[in-house]
Amino acid sequence: MAKSKFEYVREYEVQDTCLHNCWVVVRVDGRNFHRFSDQHNFTKPNDPRALLLMNHCAKNVMDDIKDICLAYGQSDEYSFVFHKKSNWYKRRASKFMTHVVSQFASSYVFYWKEFFPDQPILYPPGFDGRVVLYPSIQNLKDYLSWRQADCHINNLYNTVFWALVQKGGLTPAQAQERLKGTLSGDKNEILYSEFDINYNNESVMYRKGSIVIWSKVNEISNKMIKLPHEAEEKEVEVCRVRNKPIVLHCDVIGDTFWEEHPEVLSSES
């Protein structure tokens, strides 16, 4: 078929293939969630409804895009790791990023009611996205460690800050002033001596964030089956092993997680 004279505009499209043999990370982050969390009455410093909704969306994204081998989330952000061998959409960065972000954002709205039954969603939230390539497993592990360290630093700060405000009666400005220049040991000490809070007993989801990996899960369902020597169909229980995304809350900075889950980044499976 002859090409139309307009066809040349295609040449304006740029190639955006992600370099081969690199781990591709897509990170999504809620747009202006400072405002969104206020308007939707998120509890401070952590709202379990919001975090569990984020985790649910991440599982939905992974169910939809099987080449994602791991995801890590905290606060209003989630990072999705595409396996370095992935050839999904010929490794086009724009496909990776836009599919992840749009699937995540639509899931967030779609599943909102399940997690916030008493809080209507007031306006459509947005998420930004970025793509970063990591050429070595060490770089990738360091990336995830960086996000988890960020989670820890922010959560410790926020936990003390809101204890000072909600329980200690300080104004936000006074709490901020009180925490200026404090180290993490000082913050732990304020929590312990003034509010009887042992930071290590705070919810592990708040302290470590959420890791989503694939896991073989037994799925039991009922099926109608006709056995050869019987006239009627019979309902029987069938057990199938399925690969499903599961959520963990553990340390990814040390070696233990990687030693316990060598399959996550392996080339097999």
The residues that touch ligand DGT, with contacts defined as CB under 6 A, are: 29-34, 37, 42, 44, 46-47, 50-51, 75-76
42 binds, among Mg ion, ligand DGT, none (CB under 5 to 8 A by kind): ligand DGT
Q: Which residue has the tokens 């809350």?
A: 249
Decide whether 51 or 76 has the Cβ nearer to Mg ion: 76
| Choice between 30 and 129, CB closer to ligand DGT | 30
CB of 84 to ligand DGT, least distance (A): 28
- Provide the minimum distance between the beta carbon of 50 and ligand DGT in the complex, in angstroms, as a whole number: 5
Between CA 68 and CA 24 the distance in angstroms is: 9
Measured from the CB of residue 54, what is the shortest distance to ligand DGT in angstroms? 8
Tell me the backbone φ, ψ of residue 143, rounded to 5 degrees. -60, -50
Where on the chain is the footprint of Mg ion (CB under 5 A)?
29-30, 33, 75-77
Which structure tokens are listed for 16?
A: 């955006």
Nearer to Mg ion, 34 or 229 (CB): 34
Closest approach of Mg ion to the CB of residue 77, in Å: 4
Q: Based on CB atoms, which residue is closest to ligand DGT, 25 or 69?
A: 25
For Mg ion, give the closer residue by CB, 89 or 162: 89
Measured CA distances, 244 to 50, 158, 208, 238, 249 (Å): 22, 33, 22, 17, 16
> Nearest approach, Cβ of 48 to ligand DGT (angstroms)?
8
Partner from ligand DGT, Mg ion, none binding residue 67, C-beta < 5-8 Å depending on class? none
Minimum gap (Å) between residue 218 Cβ and Mg ion:
36
* C-alpha to C-alpha distance for 206 and 146, rounded to whole angstroms: 16
Shortest approach of Mg ion to residue 266 CB, angstroms?
30
Residue closer to ligand DGT (CB basis): 30 or 245 = 30
* Contacted entry of Mg ion, ligand DGT, none for residue 97, CB cut-off 5 to 8 Å set by kind: none
* Closer residue to ligand DGT, CB minimum distance, 76 or 163: 76
